[in-house]
């Protein structure tokens, strides 16, 4: 049994015309694949919708499905196929449509950035060949940075302390960002920016630092970190440098704290000595009373002896 022609079912003249056009390389005359070129910007975690319209002069003339590919390599597995299920993240926007092949990709991540092609295939024998392709849609995934501004050591600090002001922007994508450090609304020319580093999840991180001395003139100085990432709105973080000046009261309090252990020891020694003195006084009084009693008894006895003698006279 002869293999069916891709143009089977059409009148003979049309078959010959389409065959001639195909031999001349004029496929686009009967198949057109339309895509929006982009670029499309989508934030991480959101859902991306890619539009594709396939226009056929003769719907029955070209058998074969439609696939979506990421990148120009058709040997790579497609992210969507009309003939089979490929990924649970990719769904057809208009199921069953013969012309609308828009798809939606859920939970977009940085690794999903790239160029996507909508391709119409033609059945040929037991396989398929590419019949027509869209020009591709460029997709950029945006991951907003997390921005932190900190001082080390943190405020308040002692006078003339060396302080490091550091601005960190972490986890951003794409690698299209600028970071600026300001001191009292004046951009710093002495800040040091580290090279951009790439994280394991494909995002990037950037850090810039500034070293200052906490002089009296810098008390309550305001430091600002300004971040510009891609096409997003600028992000600002601020921190204030507070200097804790040494005062006489603080010095007195410090001296008192230093002298407190000595004062406590002196108090205990005083208490012990006072108890010893009290015991000695009591003993002295007790010993003093005993001789007085003996003398008193002797005096009474003498008086009694002298009394009768005077009466006899």
Among 61-65, 102-106, 195-199, where is mean pLDDT lowest? 61-65
| Confidence category of residue 263, pLDDT binned at 50, 70, 90 | low
Which tokens go with 28? 């686009």
How far is residue 112's CA from residue 121's CA, in Å, rounded to a whole number? Answer: 24
For residues 302-311, give the mean pLDDT: 46
pTM: 0.61
Closest CA to 22 of 117, 124, 119: 124
Give tens-digit pLDDT for 125-158: 778 889 899 999 999 999 999 999 999 999 999 9
| Confidence category of residue 290, pLDDT binned at 50, 70, 90 | low
DSSP, collapsed to helix, strand or coil, labels residue 268 as: helix
| Confidence category of residue 288, pLDDT binned at 50, 70, 90 | low
For residues 224-236, give the mean pLDDT: 92
Quickly name the fold that domain 146-244 has. Answer: Immunoglobulin-like (2.60.40)
* All residues at 6 or more sequence positions from 39 whose CB lies less than 8 Å from its CB, including other chains: 138, 139, 140
Give tens-digit pLDDT for 174-195: 898 999 999 999 998 888 999 9
State residue 36's pLDDT score. 86
Beta strands 48-50 and 177-183, pairing class: unpaired
State residue 122's pLDDT score. 85
For residues 247-273, give the mean pLDDT: 60
Q: For 30-142, CATH number?
A: 2.60.40.10
Which residues on neighbouring strands pair with residue 158, listed in sequence order? Answer: 244
Residues of the chain with CATH 2.60.40.10: 30-142, 146-244
Give tens-digit pLDDT for 19-39: 665 555 545 457 889 998 888
Is residue 79's pLDDT more than 50? yes
- Burial of residue 193 (CB within 10 Å: 0-12, 13-18, 19+) is middle
- ∠ CA 242-248-254, nearest 5°, is 90
Half-sphere exposure of residue 284: CA atoms within 13 angstroms, side-chain side: 6
């Amino acid at each position: 049994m002869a293999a069916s022609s891709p143009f089977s079912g059409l009148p003979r003249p049309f078959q010959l015309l389409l065959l001639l056009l195909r031999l001349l390389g004029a496929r686009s005359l009967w198949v057109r694949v339309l895509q929006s070129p982009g670029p499309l910007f989508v934030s991480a975690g959101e859902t991306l919708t890619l539009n594709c319209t396939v226009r056929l002069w003769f719907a029955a003339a070209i058998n074969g499905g439609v696939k979506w590919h990421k990148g120009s390599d058709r040997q790579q597995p497609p992210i969507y196929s009309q003939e089979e299920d490929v990924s649970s993240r990719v769904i057809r926007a208009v199921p069953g449509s013969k012309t609308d092949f828009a798809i939606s990709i859920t939970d977009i991540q940085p690794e999903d950035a790239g160029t996507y092609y909508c391709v119409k295939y033609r059945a040929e024998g037991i396989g398929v060949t590419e019949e027509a392709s869209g020009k591709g849609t460029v997709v950029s995934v945006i991951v907003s940075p997390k921005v932190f501004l900190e001082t080390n050591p943190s405020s308040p600090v002692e006078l003339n302390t060396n302080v490091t002001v550091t601005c960190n922007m972490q986890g951003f994508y794409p690698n299209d960002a600028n970071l600026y450090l300001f001191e009292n609304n004046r951009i710093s020319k002495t800040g040091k920016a580290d090279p951009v580093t790439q994280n394991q999840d494909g995002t990037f991180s950037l850090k810039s630092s500034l070293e200052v001395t906490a002089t009296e003139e810098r008390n309550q100085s305001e430091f600002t970190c300004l971040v510009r990432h891609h096409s997003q709105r600028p992000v600002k973080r601020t921190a204030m440098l507070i200097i804790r000046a040494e005062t006489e009261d603080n010095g007195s309090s410090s001296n008192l704290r230093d002298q407190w252990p000595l004062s406590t020891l002196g108090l205990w020694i005083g208490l012990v000595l006072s108890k010893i003195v009290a015991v000695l006084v009591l003993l002295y009084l007790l010993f003093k009373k005993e001789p007085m009693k003996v003398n008193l008894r002797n005096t009474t006895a003498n008086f009694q002896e002298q009394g009768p003698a005077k009466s006899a006279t």
